[in-house]
Amino acid sequence: MQACADASALAEAREIHHQISQSDLAADTDVNNKILDMYAKCASMEDAKKLFSTMAQRDLTSWSTMISGFVHNGLGEEATDFFDQFKQTGGKPDPGMFTHVFLACGILGSVDEGMLHFESMQRDFGITPAMDHYVSIVNMLGQSGYLDEAHEFVERMPMEPSIDVWESLMNMCRLNGSLELGDRCAQIIERLDPSRLNEQSKMGLFPVNASDLAKEKERKKANSVEARSKVHEYRAGDRTHPDTLKIYEELRYLAAHMKEAGYVADTRFVLHDVDPETKEDALLAHSERLAVSYGLITSAARAPIRVIKNLRSCGDCHTALKIISKLVGRQIIARDAKRFHHFENGLCSCKDYW
């Protein structure tokens, strides 16, 4: 189950579930909880919901796994609905469940609801907020565009804000274009721990991990896509695949139609010092686009395409996959180092927050 979850291998996950359902383990709550987690990490909350509805016994872990699964798949409304259902059963949430609820409210932009849950956590359940909760609230406020309120929330914290809180606020400011406040946060972070800032952060960009930058420069970004029961791996600019010509032909075809649909390449995400045209070509050959291109030419019409990425997707690829999903009428499910993204009809489940 763990191997299937790590590889987002849905077909194999369903087969394992089928085998377990025929055994004495079918009624074991702990085993079922692990199956729920497996399905969530395979981006199939529908399968998770079907199992959850048939479970004879559910515990706190069952509910928490469902709520966190919805959140990591960008399904904020389902997460908050399940949280309400859990409370109606008389269950008592734990601190971790509230963290996911705050993230769910951030996905929905439901700031008022999130703050009510924050108050309820203390008032109704006697849970003292930990630093993770404050980070989640800052993310929720910032994700919804309430940067001044997020800053005020940090200033009014009853404890000294950790570097994670300031880093979260800085990232939200960079994401929303609030450069001045983002720079002030960066100055605080630099005083607390200069190693937490890289060149991107100092330039006012959304930060990328130093290890990620090194991998990018060494062109060791890899993607895998399941196709016809095989796993295919791609690296940025890869031309080693047996179907390389077909893959790049499909990419050029898509690129022409993407421009007609309003796509403009964001060359800030190319780290090499080359001319603009070369930068656009480099973006075109990013690993997830190679994977999606191969998925399009090898899978059945309208079948979803599943891609696994070992780093966080860049902003340009995120925009590109939204447009591609609308052009080809396909659902593209991409898991990067941060979360799942469900691209469909020109939109992403993360609501452009990743």
pLDDT tens digit sequence for 311-350: 777 888 888 899 999 988 989 998 887 778 899 989 888 8
pLDDT tens digit sequence for 165-217: 999 999 888 877 788 898 899 899 989 988 887 655 555 444 544 444 444 44
pLDDT tens digit sequence for 238-247: 787 788 888 8
For residues 52 and 47, give the distance between their C-alpha atoms in angstroms, rounded to a whole number. 9
Structure token digits, residue 164? 């994670």
Query: How many other CB atoms are there within 10 angstroms of residue 4's CB atom?
Result: 21
Which pLDDT belongs to residue 212? 46
CA angle 157, 160, 166 (to 5 degrees): 85
Which pLDDT belongs to residue 261? 84
Q: Which of 119, 122, 112, 154 is nearest to 135 (CA)?
A: 154
E strands within the chain?
222-227, 230-235, 305-309, 332-335, 340-344, 347-348
Global confidence as pTM:
0.69
* Residues 238 and 287: beta-carbon distance below 8 Å: yes
- Residues in CB range of 143: below 8 A, 6 or more apart: 106, 107, 109, 172, 175, 353
For residues 178 and 186, give the distance between their C-alpha atoms in angstroms, rounded to a whole number. 12
Give the residue carrying structure tokens 């395409």. 305
Which pLDDT belongs to residue 215? 46
- CA 69 from centre of chain: 11
CA distances from 115 to 74, 106, 128, 140 (A): 20, 11, 14, 9
